[in-house]
Amino acid sequence: MASKTMLVAAIDFGTTYSGWAFSFKHEYDTDPTKIAARQWHGGQMVSLKAPTTVLIKPDARTFDSFGYEAETKYSELASEDNNEHKRWYYFRRFKMMLHGKMGLRRNIDIEDETKKSLPAKTVFSLVIRYLKEDMMKHSTDRLSSGHIREDEITWVLTVPAIWTDAAKQFMREAAVQAGIKNETLKIALEPETASIFCRLLPVEKMIEGGGMTSFKPGSVYMVLDAGGGTIDITVHEVLSDGKLKELHKASGGAWGGTQVDEAYRQFLISLVGHPVFRRFQVENKEDYLDMFREFEIKKREIAPDKDAKVTIRLPSSLKEIFEDKSGEDLRKAIMQTKYASEVSMTGDKLRINAPVMKSLFDNATRSTVSHVKKLMKDTIVSRVSSILMVGGFCESKMFQHAIRSSFPNVKVIIPHEAGLVVLKGAVVFGHNPSSVSHRVSKYTYGIANAVPFDNEKHDIRKRIQCDETTLCDDIFDKYVEKGQSVALNVPTTEKTYLPTTESQSSIRLTMYASTHKSPMYVTDDGCVKLGQVIITIIDKSVPRDERRVLVSMTFGGTEIEVTAREQNTGKVTKAIVDFLG
């Protein structure tokens, strides 16, 4: 953290909900858990984060509104008869477009709700800029002087640990485009920030399955970060110096809380039919929005031990569209569906039996439980004594029950306000970024190389001739292996490279990542080109085989630094790998 830092501000850019939090340096020094976060309001909803929804004006570049305000304004535009809303750009839950993309490029486009496209970088940066400026306004209100300079702020942006290097870099570039200076920005991994914050909490701030909560040196625990879009899982060990060591590479999948919303949507479609529901969604956006806001409240109340029926208001517009299209009474039509004995309708109210509502959680919980069970078979992960559940979806009693009942021999720890833990932990990380000492590499990283051709082991199609030497091209020269523990900010062992010809005046280092542990060639399946570093050779007076360049890599979070040192001249070239190409 820069010595000038007066304030650390964190932005949690989530799939379904986003928000910001901050703390001043003097507050952190007194009580690191004293962190301010904004409350957001939308209709009956009061939440600690706002829906990740943005409305952009018809000029395709001007921000209009965010969160609940964007949802409400767009639904009002859509309720007018002039189709004015179709000229506007309305994006919601768009963060998932970055999930799992190894070959992501910075100029990628995304589509809004009406299939109109904008550059993804524009959309992401507009949201980050809004959250940045909103935080600045609120934090300035608390300063006695009424002003804080931007170079006195350290910014932290959270990203899922399971994301690719390219997706993390994309978020950094979007933040810089939003007006955050690169040198004041830190990228933090969500499960790590959750882990960092929870270690500061007193026992009374935790909800747990019995016994004392402990993150003492030697403790091994799993962090299960369940948000709206993704489930992000890591395994941490607390070292003797209090720092964290990642023991197993981050894993997870797209099994977050939005799967419950989708299950509810499919349930409603099974009652009224897809054509009716689609027309309702397009023509009655305000009613559609209100219906899902109500479900958001209801789904938080659903619990394994509650057997009472759940009552949900059905918009009259949906009933009218159904009866107009089918000529049937909706109440009678429901009696003809597979839910005849489970669902009844009185006036504009649906009364749904508890088992049906509970079943909406099945897909999300089943996928997560299955994945964690698979992880627990690993020798390292089997050392886990507790599961720390964080993220908004972990506030669901149904999800909590699924984890507890599936892993009865492991203590399950759930902090209060689990949905804010990642955000608050990001603030703590900004004050103390050296909290993590080791991470486990998700990929194998290496450089494309040419070596003397060996008839016994090399593919004849890779044979090339350089001056008098026969070489094998496209060799994957490995630096770090998938699953290997990597010390942060510590260079790897140097490797030596030579020009392939006498006339060569530079060496082009092309870096690759692979999803396999030991690829032979950079052209093998699972290999992706990351970027290049060009080393200019100054001393060309010496023979080719004496123009050695020594190369190492340093892994320090989301960026990989390549350092090349010419042995003869001592010249050092450093470069950050460009994952976006």
First CA to last CA distance, the chain = 29
pLDDT at 300: 84
Which residue pairs from 31-38 have beta carbons closer than 8 angstroms and sit at least 24 positions apart in sequence?
32/200, 32/428, 32/431, 33/197, 33/200, 33/201, 33/424, 33/428, 35/424, 35/427, 35/428, 36/138, 36/139, 36/142, 37/420, 37/423, 37/424, 38/134, 38/135, 38/138
Q: How far apart are alpha carbons 12 and 425 in whole angstroms?
A: 10
Q: How far apart are alpha carbons 172 and 364 in whole angstroms?
A: 30
pLDDT at 433: 87
pLDDT at 252: 92
Half-sphere exposure of 109 (CA within 13 A, CB side): 7
Nearest alpha carbon to residue 198 among 184, 219, 228: 219
**Token match 């997706």: residue?**
167
Task: Report pLDDT digits (tens) over 441-499.
Answer: 989 999 999 999 999 999 999 999 988 889 999 999 999 999 999 998 899 999 998 88
Which residues, at least 6 apart from 212, have a Cβ–Cβ distance to it below 8 Å? 203
CB-based contact 230:253 (threshold 8 Å): yes
Q: Within a 10 A sphere around the Cβ of 3, how many other Cβ atoms?
A: 4
Q: How far apart are alpha carbons 13 and 160 in whole angstroms?
A: 10
pLDDT at 137: 86
Local mean pLDDT, 10-residue blocks, the chain (581 residues): 78 94 93 92 79 96 96 90 88 86 81 93 97 88 68 93 88 96 93 91 60 73 93 94 91 91 96 95 91 89 93 94 94 93 93 96 95 95 94 93 96 91 95 89 93 95 91 96 91 89 82 94 93 75 82 80 86 83 66
CB-based contact 388:191 (threshold 8 Å): no
Specify the DSSP element, H or E, that contains 355. Answer: helix 354-359
CB-based contact 53:47 (threshold 8 Å): no
Q: Sheet of 560-566: strands edge to edge?
A: 495-497, 549-555, 560-566, 572-576
Quote the DSSP letter at residue 314: P
CB-based contact 420:21 (threshold 8 Å): yes
Instruction: Give the burial string for 42-66 (b: 16+ CB within 10 Å, else e).
Output: beeeebbbbbbbbbbeeeeeebbbb
CB-based contact 252:231 (threshold 8 Å): yes
**Token match 């090349």: residue?**
564
Q: What is the 3-state secondary structure (H, E, C) of 45-96?
A: EEECCEECEEEECCCCCCEEEECHHHHHHHHHHHHCCCCHHHHCEEEECHHH
pLDDT at 50: 93
Q: How far apart are alpha carbons 151 and 102 in whole angstroms?
A: 33
Which residue pairs from 566-572 have beta carbons closer than 8 angstroms and sit at least 24 positions apart in sequence?
566/535, 566/537, 566/538, 566/539, 568/539, 568/542, 569/538, 569/539, 571/538
pLDDT at 45: 67
Q: How far apart are alpha carbons 296 and 279 in whole angstroms?
A: 22
Task: Report pLDDT digits (tens) over 286-326.
Answer: 899 999 989 988 888 899 999 999 999 999 999 999 999 99
* Structural domains of the chain ordered from first start: 258-359 (no CATH), 441-576 (2.60.34.10)
Is the entire prediction scored with pTM above 0.75?
yes
Q: How far apart are alpha carbons 52 and 272 in whole angstroms?
A: 28
